[in-house]
């Protein structure tokens, strides 16, 4: 066997091994990309936006204000009943 044939065989085997590992790495990269996209979808689905948070907090504060006003009214009525 001459030197050129040995060299071609060695290069072919090396390129085959490199190709095999490159294919495996690209498949892993695709898998990770899919997982990242699913994670992004889950985060967007499970978490609220700032504007939604602000609106919810505004509604909560309004409810507390109404409860506070009712308590003040009851307190004023009971205080007025004690004075008379």
pLDDT digits (tens, 9 = 90+) for 15-71: 999 999 999 999 999 999 999 999 988 888 888 889 999 999 999 999 999 999 999
User: How far is C-alpha 35 from the chain's CA centre?
Assistant: 12
Tokens of 45: 């689905």
Its pTM surpasses 0.85: no
Distances in Å between the Cα of 20 and the Cα atoms of 25, 32, 37, 46 are 9, 19, 26, 39
pLDDT of residue 61: 97
Q: Residue 49, SS3?
A: coil
User: What is the Cα–Cα distance from 39 to 46, expressed in whole angstroms?
Assistant: 10
With cut-offs at 50, 70 and 90, classify the pLDDT of residue 78: confident
């Amino acid at each position: 066997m001459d030197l050129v044939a040995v060299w071609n065989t060695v290069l072919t085997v090396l390129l085959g091994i490199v190709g095999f590992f490159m294919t495996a790495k690209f498949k892993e990269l695709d898998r990770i990309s899919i997982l990242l996209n699913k994670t992004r979808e889950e985060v967007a689905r499970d978490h609220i936006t700032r504007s939604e948070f602000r609106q919810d907090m505004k509604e909560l504060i309004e409810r507390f204000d109404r409860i506070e006003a009712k308590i003040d009214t009851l307190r004023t009525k009971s205080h007025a009943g004690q004075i008379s």
